[in-house]
């Protein structure tokens, strides 16, 4: 947690000394950042042995409007460093019978913050780039793979030339080898970030392709590479990634793109319905209750 230590050192050297209680909070965060950054002010104060108001004043002493702002900054600093074991340890205090409500509330909070922080202009820029792309490559590795698969599945209804980059490590570059300036690569990754996704994004940039990222915030390494970056909150209640907000952003993109191509999409679905009926792709309603 060297970044946090640097902040504290700079504060001390500025002549604004930390109180005894504030020093205890700071040291606890430095020593136990993997748990501390996901604690409420009340819980952090209880763990350190100070009041909740002392924790709030500590955040103000560091120059933040309040504790939530400090907590968010710390989470962004450490989220990509947490191992699976550390993330699991964060959830050990959750009672099994409280898992449902805890996780659902966390997902709701992620959705709320994603909606509040979303820049409509950036969202529209992504829509425009996808509408004008000759080919669209969608890449997400490991836990982000289902997001990439979902996005590419529905993009194939809207566009020709959609490619899901989902091969093994040795084959990724082969899948994007022909990417050009008229193409768009959508890279999806969240902490702990996939090095292969980052490398593929750099490869696309080197070949003058447009790069769009879907990640968790401005401190993400994807943000530095992408031409346009959409962010979605993924704060986790455990070792399991929270993908509710990223999936919702993808849904919004798909709906917006479909509305721009509604006439072509309507005709396409009309044709597909005939195919689906002919080959009994879906269960017919009259057979559903047999």
Question: Stretch 233-244: mean pLDDT, rounded?
Answer: 78
Higher per-residue pLDDT: 248 or 28: 248
pLDDT of residue 191: 83
pTM of the model: 0.72
At residue 215, does pLDDT exceed 90? yes
Cα–Cα distances in Å, from 22 out to 29, 53, 77, 164, 171? 11, 11, 20, 50, 51
pLDDT band at 13 (very low <50, low <70, confident <90, very high): very low
pLDDT band at 26 (very low <50, low <70, confident <90, very high): confident
Residue 41, SS3 per DSSP: helix
Contact 151, 187 (CB under 8 A): no
At residue 23, does pLDDT exceed 80? yes
Q: In the predicted model, what is the mean pLDDT of the chain?
A: 84
At residue 155, does pLDDT exceed 90? yes
- As a whole number of angstroms, the distance between CA 180 and CA 121 comes to 25
Cα–Cα distances in Å, from 154 out to 20, 209, 279? 56, 22, 20
Question: Stretch 263-274: mean pLDDT, rounded?
Answer: 86
E-only strand ranges, the chain: 136-140, 162-165, 184-188, 210-215, 228-231
Q: Where would I find the H helices in 140-261? A: 145-158, 172-175, 195-206, 221-225, 244-260
pLDDT band at 201 (very low <50, low <70, confident <90, very high): very high
At residue 92, does pLDDT exceed 60? no
Residue 139 β-bridge partners: 165, 187
Residue 211 β-bridge partners: 185
At residue 30, does pLDDT exceed 90? no
pLDDT of residue 287: 57
- Nearest Cα residue to 201 out of 182, 221, 218: 221
- Nearest Cα residue to 5 out of 54, 86, 78: 78
pLDDT of residue 149: 96
Comparing 28-42, 84-98, 169-183, the range with the smallest average pLDDT is: 84-98
Token pair listed for 262: 């509604």
Contact residues for 277 (Cβ-Cβ < 8 A; gap 6+): none
């Amino acid at each position: 947690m060297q970044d946090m230590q640097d902040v504290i050192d700079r504060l001390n050297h500025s002549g604004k000394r930390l109180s005894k209680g504030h020093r205890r909070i700071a040291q606890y965060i430095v020593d136990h950042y993997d748990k501390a950054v996901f604690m409420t002010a009340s819980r952090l104060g209880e763990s350190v042995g100070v009041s909740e108001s002392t924790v709030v004043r500590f955040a103000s002493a560091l120059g933040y409007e309040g504790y939530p702002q400090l907590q968010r900054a710390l989470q962004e600093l450490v989220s990509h460093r947490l191992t699976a074991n550390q993330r699991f340890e964060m959830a050990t205090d959750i009672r099994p019978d409280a898992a449902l409500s805890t996780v659902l509330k966390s997902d709701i909070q992620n959705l709320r913050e994603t909606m509040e922080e979303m820049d409509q202009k950036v969202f529209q820029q992504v829509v425009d780039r996808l509408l004008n792309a000759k080919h669209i490559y969608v890449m997400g590795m490991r836990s982000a793979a289902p997001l990439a698969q979902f996005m590419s599945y529905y993009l194939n209804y809207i566009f020709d030339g959609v490619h899901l980059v989902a091969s093994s490590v040795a084959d990724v570059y082969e899948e994007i080898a022909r990417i050009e300036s008229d193409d768009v690569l959508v890279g999806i990754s969240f902490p702990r970030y996939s090095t292969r996704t980052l490398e593929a994004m750099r490869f696309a940039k080197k070949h003058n392709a447009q790069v769009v990222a879907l990640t968790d915030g401005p401190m993400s390494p994807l943000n530095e590479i992408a031409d346009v970056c959409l962010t979605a909150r993924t704060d986790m209640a455990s070792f399991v990634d929270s993908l509710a907000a990223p999936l919702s952003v993808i849904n919004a993109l798909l709906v917006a793109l479909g509305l721009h191509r509604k006439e072509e999409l309507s005709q396409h679905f009309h044709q597909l319905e005939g195919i689906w009926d002919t080959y009994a792709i879906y269960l017919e309603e009259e057979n559903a209750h047999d």
